[in-house]
Chain A
Amino acid sequence: DAGITQSPRHKVTETGTPVTLRCHQTENHRYMYWYRQDPGHGLRLIHYSYGVKDTDKGEVSDGYSVSRSKTEDFLLTLESATSSQTSVYFCAISGQAVSTDTQYFGPGTRLTVL
């Protein structure tokens, strides 16, 4: 299994509070991604990183920010959580373009915003 951990695995928070999810990898892979999984939508890309301090927006980036200060860690922050951000969040990593290298996923974080 690829060395990807996510913390916390479960979190319940209240509307308006800040939340940070952490993804940690031990594979030294260049690319890291944050997805959210919702019924009827599959996996949607929130933000991704193509190197330390290099990040870009995905298709559902509103309300989220990310940071990558070192290769192994990719943080996802909800500045002010809303109920619409209740979801399961997955981190993923890949070493190269996905047509030549598998994208590996972490175990997920279930976030509930009350």
Chain B
Amino acid sequence: DQQVKQNSPSLSVQEGRISILNCDYTNSMFDYFLWYKKYPAEGPTFLISISSIKDKNEDGRFTVFLNKSAKHLSLHIVPSQPGDSAVYFCAATHTNDYKLSFGAGTTVTVRA
């Protein structure tokens, strides 16, 4: 049973607009969340993370929001650029664990 779910397999957005990617989790033990980005024929690369003691973390154009009561997080990309076209994976773990649980991924396409 998948503990991390990304229910939107794909997202198409115009260049310059906001991309919003969603992720839900079911395991109450998870307290650390990450987003990875993956280009074709490459391995995933770490993008941004958030601890459960926060509800927002920002890094340049990327912001992750965490709603613990809803067991929901989202990734906002503003403004979206063509180089953001990739697959984005949501992942979760709990503190001091060394394993990650991944969602199925969302493919983002940024249109010119």
Contact = CB atoms under 8 A, between A and B. Distances in A.
B28 interface: no
Contacts of A41: 2, 104
Contact of A98 (B4, B42, B43, B98): B98
A105 B103 contact: no
A106 B2 CA distance: 24
Contacts of A92: 43
**Interface band, chain B:** 20 to 34
A50 B41 CA distance: 27
B25 interface: no
A45 B91 CA distance: 12
A102 B98 contact: no
A67 to B, nearest CB: 19
Interface of B: 2, 4, 6, 9, 31-32, 34, 36, 41-46, 51, 89, 91, 93-100, 102-105
Interface of A: 4, 31, 33, 35, 40-45, 48, 50, 58, 90, 92, 94, 96-99, 102-108
29 contacts: A35-B102, A41-B2, A41-B104, A42-B2, A42-B4, A42-B6, A42-B89, A42-B102, A42-B104, A43-B89, A45-B100, A48-B98, A50-B98, A58-B99, A97-B95, A97-B96, A97-B97, A97-B98, A98-B98, A99-B32, A99-B51, A99-B94, A99-B95, A102-B46, A104-B43, A105-B36, A105-B45, A108-B42, A108-B43
